[in-house]
Amino acid sequence: MMRPAWETDDAFARQAREARTPPVRLRDLGRSEYCETWQAMRAFTEARGPDTPDELWLVEHHPVFTQGQAGRGEHVHTPGAIRVVATDRGGQVTYHAPGQVVVYTLVDLRRTGFFVRELVRRIEEAVIETLASYGVAGFRVDGAPGVYVRIAGPLEEEAQRGAAGAADRIGGNPEEGPGFDPRFRDHAKIAALGIKVHRGCAYHGVALNVAMDLSPFSRIDPCGYPGLRATDLATLGVLAGRQAVGERLLERLCAQIFPD
């Protein structure tokens, strides 16, 4: 399994010479504007060749709503001062902000030998394994990419009673109004993902909520599902730093996407 360490140029070149296949390069971009990072991903994917190493980018974004290619305007209710960006990934609307781990998976699918659906499954599995390492049980919902957790309990009861601040700590509207999908009853989304494939190479990736202001999720229908709630590790009682969670997720992504 590849170590989740930041390679220097010299170490990267040595590893490339020794490996029979190009290594994976891990980059920590810190906090950056969404559009700047998106354009960098597109440029990287456009310029890469058959021998270009795959890359995983760890990043944190300033507040932004992003609409995927399937995005519909009615799923963005009151964005306020938060910018809405129409992007080229798959899926519907989601929210990025500080306190969230984002990993972009720039992967040559022709080299991995699997298709985008399998890449999505492996990314989800890496998130589930990361959550499990913190004692949190994550799971999939059929037909709704991403990772979810159960939220039935005292906080959910507070939200249903309309207790002050409870809905913000869950994120989203706790009421099962028009259009609510019963698959999400007692569930909240903790990780969202979307992928774009261009010339056999994937980019975009996954966002895992660690410790963030969840209230903006109530301004949208997350991932296009009215009433779907969002949560984070902090709300679930896990006090972990974004950097530590990000590096743990990188480790699991390497193991899932680039197994020995």
Q: What is the C-alpha radius of gyration for the chain, rounded to an integer number of angstroms?
A: 18
CA 104 to CA 194: how far, in whole Å?
A: 10
Name the domain count of the chain.
1
Q: Which domain holds residue 119?
A: 9-257
CA 197 to CA 73: how far, in whole Å?
A: 24
pTM (2 d.p.): 0.84
For residues 23 and 132, the model is more confident at 132
Report, as an integer, the average pLDDT of 208-215. 97
Q: For residue 2, is it within any domain?
A: no
Residue 202's closest CA among 124, 72, 114, 95? 114
- Catalytic-residue membership of 223: yes
Does the CA dihedral 159-221-107-203 come out positive or negative? Answer: negative
Q: For residue 29, is it within any domain?
A: yes
Phi, psi dihedrals of residue 84, rounded to the nearest 5°: -110, 125
CA 101 to CA 97: how far, in whole Å?
A: 9
Q: In the prediction, which pLDDT does 151 show?
A: 87
Q: For residue 76, is it within any domain?
A: yes
Residue 23's closest CA among 44, 39, 9? 9
Q: In the prediction, which pLDDT does 218 show?
A: 94
> Do the beta carbons of residue 101 and residue 170 sit within 8 Å?
no
Q: In the prediction, which pLDDT does 192 show?
A: 97
114: which 2 tokens? Answer: 């699997």
Q: For residue 174, is it within any domain?
A: yes
Q: For residue 225, is it within any domain?
A: yes
CA 47 to chain CA centroid, Å, is 24
- Indicate whether 20 pLDDT > 50: no
Q: For residue 38, is it within any domain?
A: yes
Instruction: For residue 225, name the pLDDT band (cuts at 50, 70, 90).
Output: confident
180: which 2 tokens? Answer: 């609510």
173-196 pLDDT tens trace:
555 666 666 777 889 999 999 999
Least confident range of 58-62, 133-137, 184-188: 184-188
| Alpha-helical segments (H) within the chain | 9-18, 34-47, 109-112, 116-133, 154-161, 166-170, 242-257
Q: For residue 90, is it within any domain?
A: yes
Residue 130's closest CA among 7, 258, 244, 3? 244
Q: What CA dihedral angle connects 124, 147, 72 and 45, to 10 degrees? A: -20
Phi, psi dihedrals of residue 74, rounded to the nearest 5°: -70, -10
From the list 35, 201, 223, 254, the catalytic residue is 223
- Neighbouring C-beta atoms of residue 211, cutoff 10 Å: 18
Instruction: For residue 113, name the pLDDT band (cuts at 50, 70, 90).
Output: very high
Q: For residue 3, is it within any domain?
A: no
Q: In the prediction, which pLDDT does 154 show?
A: 46
Instruction: For residue 161, name the pLDDT band (cuts at 50, 70, 90).
Output: very low
Domain containing residue 111: CATH number: 3.30.930.10
Strand partners, 189: 148, 230
